[in-house]
Chain A
Amino acid sequence: MEQLIASFREALESLDRVRADAIFRQALEMGTPIQAVERLVVPALEQMGAAWSDGTVALSQIYLGGQFCESLVESVLAPSDPDRKHQPRSAIVVLSDYHDLGKRIVYSVMRASGFEIFDYGRMDVDTLVERALADRVRVLMISVLMLPSALKVRDVCARLRERGSDAKVIVGGAPFLFDSQLWQEVGAYAMGKSAAQAVAIVERVMGEMQ
């Protein structure tokens, strides 16, 4: 399987969709669709995420690779498929600023990893808090590019607590990468350095909630 993962990752990074598709089909023949996702797609995306953090893979490769994986997984696991991971109830949002590439990437990678999550698009603090409470969200992923937006996460966390929510807020984006203490300062539960890390954190939360 290691060889297959390496080949799949290489195909994704070089945008060779035909080859990536063929490798995915090969993995499907070795087990169920969700097994193919967990054994092939998730590790490949995890490795790419780590490589982006190291500076050896580019954001364009993560974005386009994640989108393609999302479509592959969609073709074998419909949103209503019982094998999809619907719990914990999770949502993703761009807070306050207008840069949504990071959110798009995390959303794709989450869905390519078998999760179903709410996509809130772009929201300000008030709207986000009300929506997360109404949806009884247990995991809230917040993506930002700008420092002022990152600082507003503090308000989101405080307001959710005030209203009795125990939602875990996971943050990501440039300000958190450049200041490793910022996620704690704003009261987040965790910070994902890459989309794949976000998946790993949600998996961890799933384990804690069981």
Chain B
Amino acid sequence: MTSLTMNSMQRTVTALGHQEPDRVPMFLLTSMHGAKEMGFTIEQYFSRAEHVAEGQMRLLKKYRSDCVYAFFYASIEVEAWGGTTLFSLDGPPLCGAPVIQRPEQIDHLRAPSVQDSPSLVKVLRAINMLKERLGDTVPIVGVTISPFSLPVMQMGFHSYLDLMFGQPERFERLMQVNQGFAVEWANAQLAAGATAICYFDPVASPTNVPREFYLKTGHQVAKTTISQIKGPTATHLASGRGLTILDDIAQTGTAVVGVSALEDLAELKRLVAGRISVMGNLNGVEMRRWTPAQAEYEVKRAIAKAGRGGGFVLADNHGEIPWQVPDTVLLAIADAVQRWGVYPLDWVDEFLNSSRLDGAQ
């Protein structure tokens, strides 16, 4: 086996430059697992920047991921808008009641200031601590929910769909207000030390809205927003399908796209090879019950489909690994990447041929 010569940052930058690094970079996007490492409940864990910074450092060492993940939970952004978060013992924190109860509120809606939001400042402090400890050796991934997808939490999904398709002027105003917030929030994370921003945009997925509608709305929003973010972005559809808008996403100025386990990784990679990198697409829900052998097989399959030529980051397909996924699986994934992810990937042809003979996709 070739010895590894790059640190995580070099490995990732090389892969995103569509070159083959020493090994396939692995972004094991664990957030809640830090609470397990620290012996806290999920709510206790996310209550302090110090917990998350230390938790991410421990996870980095344990799973040998190629990034740390400064994502706390999605609704932390809504807290800045006056919303609340509901914590549980075994899953991601969820949004409380919508902050926009009536569409008329949008007419006078003003974006909160990042620096005036204790929750967001807490995230910035965690990023800062991680940056102090890691310097430029490991990518620090920040998160911004796209202006186009944030309203699902601001007002509830069905109310948002009613707004989108029934009140275009108010929808447009909401996009403008949200854009200002998303840009400020993303740039604050970059200034605090984040290397890149994960731009979560699940509503953009054709799973949720038709491509024609996305092109007139979310796509324009993404182009404008991403152009104002002062660092690289990875657009993530959070498990939603993306094949039919992959080319469109590539035109938004983003560097990476996070793709769904419901679609073929090889086809996705082929569509955008050399233009944007692909991140994915291990099935985070199934992962809960994988055996170590199955975890190894899934890693091999993903690398075989998308690893060659760089432009690929191995990750889960949702952007957050469920709390229920056990250590045995995560460690097996990490071991498999160390074993099978080293370039050149000279085992791939044989693997793909045998997979075809077995009838596996």
Quick check: A174 and B209 within 8 Å, CB to CB?
Answer: no
Q: Which residues of B contact A58 (CB under 8 A)?
A: 206-210, 213
Q: Do A98 and B207 form a contact, CB below 8 Å, given A147-B285, A151-B324?
A: no
Q: Do A178 and B285 form a contact, CB below 8 Å, given A55-B206, A59-B208, A148-B324?
A: yes
- Compute how far the CA of A31 lies from the CA of B339 in the bound complex, rounded to whole angstroms: 66
Quick check: A64 and B165 within 8 Å, CB to CB?
Answer: yes
Chain A binding surface SS class: helix
Quick check: A15 and B165 within 8 Å, CB to CB?
Answer: yes
What is the total of A-B residue contacts with beta carbons within 8 Å? 79
Write the chain B residue with the least CB distance to A96: B88
Quick check: A147 and B158 within 8 Å, CB to CB?
Answer: no
Q: Do A148 and B286 form a contact, CB below 8 Å, given A61-B210, A174-B239?
A: no
List the one stretch of A99-107, A158-166, A196-204 in contact with chain B. A99-107
Quick check: A182 and B285 within 8 Å, CB to CB?
Answer: yes
B161 lies within 8 A of chain A by Cβ: yes
Quick check: A179 and B165 within 8 Å, CB to CB?
Answer: no
> Chain A 12-41, CB within 8 Å of chain B: the 1/0 string?
010100000000000000000000000000
Q: In the complex, which of the residues A13, A55, A59, A60 contacts B165, with contact meaning CB atoms closer than 8 Å?
A: A60
Quick check: A178 and B239 within 8 Å, CB to CB?
Answer: yes
Q: Do A60 and B164 form a contact, CB below 8 Å, given A148-B88, A178-B285?
A: yes
CB neighbors of A among B90-122 (8 A) = 90-92, 94-95
Q: In the complex, which of the residues A60, A97, A147, A178 contacts B208, with contact meaning CB atoms closer than 8 Å?
A: A60
CB neighbors of B among A163-183 (8 A) = 174-175, 177-179, 181-182
Q: Which residues of B contact A174 (CB under 8 A)?
A: 239, 285
Q: Do A179 and B283 form a contact, CB below 8 Å, given A64-B161, A98-B95, A99-B157?
A: yes
B288 lies within 8 A of chain A by Cβ: yes
Q: In the complex, which of the residues B91, B209, B210 contacts A148, with contact meaning CB atoms closer than 8 Å?
A: B91
- Compute how far the CA of A179 lies from the CA of B243 in the bound complex, rounded to whole angstroms: 20
A residues adjacent to B (C-beta < 8 A): 13, 15, 52, 55, 57-61, 63-64, 97-101, 104, 146-149, 151, 174-175, 177-179, 181-182, 185
Which 10 residue pairs across A and B have the least CB separation, nearest first? A148-B91, A178-B285, A101-B157, A179-B285, A55-B241, A179-B286, A58-B210, A60-B209, A59-B208, A148-B90
12 CB < 8 A contacts A-B: A52-B207, A55-B241, A55-B243, A59-B209, A64-B161, A98-B94, A101-B156, A104-B158, A146-B92, A179-B283, A179-B288, A179-B289
